[in-house]
Amino acid sequence: MTDDPRSAHGALSQLLARQSLGGKHLAEPGPGDDDLAQMAAAALRAPDHAELVPFRFAIVRGAARERLAALFEQAARDAGKGDDDAALDAERARRAPVTVAVIARIDLGHPLVPAHEQWMAVGGALANWLNAAHLLGYAGKMLSGHKARSPRLQQAFCGPGETLVGWVALGTAARAPGARREKAVPSAVCSDWPA
């Protein structure tokens, strides 16, 4: 087996090395237009019954980071947080060079594709996006929590029938990833049927 990144084994080794890295550990440069287009192309390769594309991505970069920071700060105040915590939420919005809002467009009445299959497509698109970012040399992390459920942020990012899933913080790793803690061994999630 070779670890040449151009080989199948090298690509798999690269994917198996992917880890999440949060905004406080991300630096410039963030992905540019060409890289973001490649990430979007990878997202579109996710399994997607009937090709509904039940997702979209909104890119926040440059001056838009300040607008996002103001929205995060106000959402924190709306949730009852004090000044210090609201300011910290605003600072978190500014940290990543690029923030990507992940938005789901689930058609609950689709005659062929049930909602759970559409949600699987959203998850597959997100995984492909993060894997593409990693293979392009960027680091990132998916974030959600109370802010993704904030009516103020939902209104800022979503149109009718859309749901704000959360954000992907992207940039260049400012530090090496820490030791990876394995979640499970492969045999814990993959077995023959019937067991």
Asked if residue 7 belongs to a domain, the reply is no
Which pTM value belongs to this model?
0.89
Mean pLDDT of 92-119: 96
Instruction: Look at phi and psi of residue 2 and say left if phi exceeds 0, alpha if psi is from -120 to 50, else beta.
Output: beta
DSSP, collapsed to helix, strand or coil, labels residue 20 as strand
* Residue 122: CATH number of its domain: 3.40.109.10
pLDDT(79) > 70: yes
Question: Does any domain span residue 112?
Answer: yes
How many structural domains comprise the chain? 1
Asked whether residue 118 carries a pLDDT value surpassing 60, the answer given is: yes
How confident is the model at residue 52, as a pLDDT?
96
What pLDDT is stored for residue 1 in this prediction?
A: 46
pLDDT of 168 > 90? The answer is yes
78: in domain: no
**Is position 189 within any domain?**
no
Q: What is the mean pLDDT of residues 77-90?
A: 93
As a whole number, mean pLDDT of residues 97-123 equals 97
* Amino acid 4: pLDDT: 66
Half-sphere exposure of 78 (CA within 13 A, CB side): 14
Residue 72 maps to a domain: no
* 38 domain-assigned: yes
Which structural domain, as residue segments, surrounds residue 166?
A: 21-59+98-176
Mean per-residue pLDDT of the chain: 91
With respect to residue 142, please indicate whether it lies within any of the assigned structural domains.
yes
Neighbours of 129 (CB within 10 A): 27
Burial of 99 (0-12, 13-18, 19+ CB in 10 A): buried
Query: Of residues 131 and 19, which shows the higher confidence score?
Result: 131
pLDDT at 139: 95
> Using one digit for the tens of pLDDT, what is the confidence trace for 9-58?
778 888 787 888 888 899 999 999 999 999 999 999 999 999 999 999 99
Instruction: Look at residue 102 and tell me whether its pLDDT is greater than 60.
Output: yes
29-33, 57-61, 90-94, 135-139: lowest mean pLDDT where?
90-94
Which residues, other chains included, contact 80 with Cβ-Cβ below 8 Å and sequence gap of 6+? none
Does the residue 181 lie in any domain?
Answer: no
